[in-house]
Amino acid sequence: MDGIVLIGFGNQGCAWAQNLRDQGREVVVALREGSQSKAQAQALGFSVISLDCEQDQKELASFSTILLLLPDHTHTTFLQTYGKHFASGARIIYAHGFSRCSQKSTAVDHFHHLLLAPKAIASELRAIFLQKEGVLGAVYALDHNPHFTEEEIECDRQFLIALAHDIGINVGPFESSFSDECRADLFSEQSLLCSLLPYAAKESFELLVSKGISPELAYFECWYELKLIANTMVEMGPQKFFELISPNALVGGLKGRRELLGKEFRNSLQKLWNDIDSGNFSQEAAATDIEACRKEIASEWNSSLLQQLHDRFLA
């Protein structure tokens, strides 16, 4: 069958499914029995089949392309449980390289394991697709056993490139590897995107408030302006960005760089990379109770003044 079966319907799955359908691709959503995503998928007009229904399992074997958009840490267990229902030689497409790098299993090596990793969060993937403007980049990778022919490999490459364009990628996709995408993605999250940005903003906000600055002013200075600054950086590039900012911002940025981003910071970055590259982080992640961790972090942010102001302004 030429259609695509999409496993999971979280934020990424929802965006991929809608973009692909809008490009004329047939997309069927496959979910576990009792999934809370079923109602949302059906409300958006997608056909939903059950992974746990014997009749639906037979239908799975008719698809040659499976988009595996479940959480990374569930991939290997999922394939070992449900992979027997997929067609031999089917394409399994991942949105990130983590599971193939940290949980690789020979029990499912008869599939074509392919990577298509958009470098955008789900909401942006959908929004830029609809607006037909903005930059959407991606990388792809092919993870084949030696017995696959050059013709099969090239066919998979062209399939991924076409699929990338249909989900809205307009820059690339660029060929990479599962390992490089995995390590780069983990590193950017730890070094900047999910660490330095939110937590440094919170620390800066709290210091301003402790010095008598109004919380409202501190919120806009330390949280809301992140979006405006980031947009300007991406739209204009680094050189024009620093030509645009005020003299005080220029001098202050250099001072902050000297004070905050010295040798100790670079050593910390190197340690983050070493832990990722050695596999230590994968072991740490596997040993972490993700739900407990998420609840703890949510509790910390929900009780913060910064969150209260955010809710107030965006209500």
Chain centre distance of CA 54 = 32
Helices (H) and strands (E) in the chain, counts: 16, 8
Element (H, E) at 161: helix 150-166
What pTM does this model have? 0.87
Coil, strand or helix at 53: coil
In which residue are the tokens 């983050």 written?
272
How far apart, in whole angstroms, are the C-alpha atoms of residue 218 and residue 208? 6
90: which DSSP letter? P
In which residue are the tokens 């399992």 written?
57
Closest among 93, 302, 97 to 183, alpha carbons compared: 97
How far apart, in whole angstroms, are the C-alpha atoms of residue 293 and residue 61? 37
Per-residue pLDDT of the chain (315 residues; tens, 9 = 90+): 467 999 999 999 999 999 999 999 999 999 998 888 999 999 999 999 999 988 888 888 889 999 999 988 888 889 888 888 998 888 999 999 988 887 655 455 678 899 999 998 898 899 999 998 888 899 999 987 677 788 888 999 999 999 999 999 999 999 999 999 999 999 999 999 999 999 999 999 999 999 999 999 999 999 999 999 999 999 999 999 999 999 999 999 999 999 999 999 999 999 999 999 999 998 998 899 989 999 999 999 999 999 999 999 986
Catalytic residue among 73, 85, 96, 110: 96
Looking at residue 188, its pLDDT comes to 96
The b/e string for 193-227 (b: 16+ C-beta within 10 A; e otherwise) is eeeeeeeebbeebbebbeeeeebeebbeebbeeee
Looking at residue 59, its pLDDT comes to 87
Looking at residue 135, its pLDDT comes to 83
Q: Is 134 left (phi over 0), alpha (psi -120 to 50) or beta?
A: left
Of 3.30.450.20, 3.10.20.600, 3.40.50.720, 1.10.287.130, the CATH number of 4-176 is 3.40.50.720
96 annotated active-site: yes
Distances (CA, A) of 66 to 86, 115, 229, 290: 8, 12, 38, 26
**Helices 263-278 and 178-188: angle between axes, nearest 10 degrees:** 140
CATH 3.40.50.720: which residues of the chain? 4-176
